[in-house]
Amino acid sequence: MIPDRTIGRLALYKRILSEASLKGTISVHSHDLATQAGVTAAQVRRDLMNLGYAGSTKRGYEVEGLLTSIQEFLDKPGGQNVILIGVGNLGRALLSHFSSRRELRICASLDMSPEKAGRMIHGCPCHGPEDLSSLIEEHHIEAAILAIPSDRAQEMADRLIGLGVTGILNFAPVPILAPENVYVENIDLTMALEKVAYFSRQ
């Protein structure tokens, strides 16, 4: 299995290449990608070996070809549906950010607040908690985003896992415990800011 850090770097290369493509860039060398990604050229080449995509010593990598290769490796054909749990300030920001994405779509959101149920928020329908099971089945959802208070995060994660969700992006400020077959990415914004603040003073 490919390490999660490698997958993260491939996602970063994809974003860099997408921007290069929009600018009309034809080719890119490993050291160019490395500089923009903050890694070494050797690391870039090792990562791209997972794709079986080869570049040229003189011309480097063809931008469109490499971008397509990474997309085929990372993205689910036809796109992938994701559900968002929690439509507070952070949840709304996430809905706005992902509203134009095709390969990763937040197809539904869910919130405990009755006044949000039945509303369209940034183009995404919001539901009550009683609809969770039917939403996951109807939209074939395998991944979820948690943007809810810490005291409800583990309970909701357990419910999602019980319904077949195998990937969780967790913004609640508490680590989620999950079986080995479920991938969890915990993002603690408070802890991250505390780290930045500490190192800014050194």
- Tell me the pLDDT tens digit for each residue of 24-39: 999 999 999 999 999 9
Say how many C-beta atoms besides its own lie within 10 A of residue 76's C-beta: 11
Say how many C-beta atoms besides its own lie within 10 A of residue 130's C-beta: 9
The CATH H-level (homologous superfamily) assignment of domain 80-192 is: NAD(P)-binding Rossmann-like Domain (3.40.50.720)
d(CA 13, CA 44): 9
In this structure, which CATH number among 1.25.40.10, 3.40.50.720, 1.10.10.10, 1.20.58.100 belongs to the domain 4-72? 1.10.10.10
Q: What is the mean pLDDT of the chain?
A: 94
Strand-pair category, 27-28 with 61-62: antiparallel
Where exactly are the structural domains of the chain?
Answer: 4-72, 80-192
Give the DSSP H or E segment for 94.
helix 89-98
Q: How far is CA 63 from CA 25, 54, 145, in A?
A: 7, 12, 31
Mean pLDDT on 93-122: 91
Global confidence as pTM: 0.89
Q: List pLDDT tens digits, range 40-65.
A: 999 999 999 999 888 887 889 999 99
pLDDT score, position 99 = 80
Burial class (CB in 10 A: 0-12, 13-18, 19+), 70: buried
Residue 100 pLDDT > 80, yes or no?
Answer: no
Return the half-sphere exposure (C-beta side, CA atoms, 13 A cut-off) of residue 29. Answer: 8
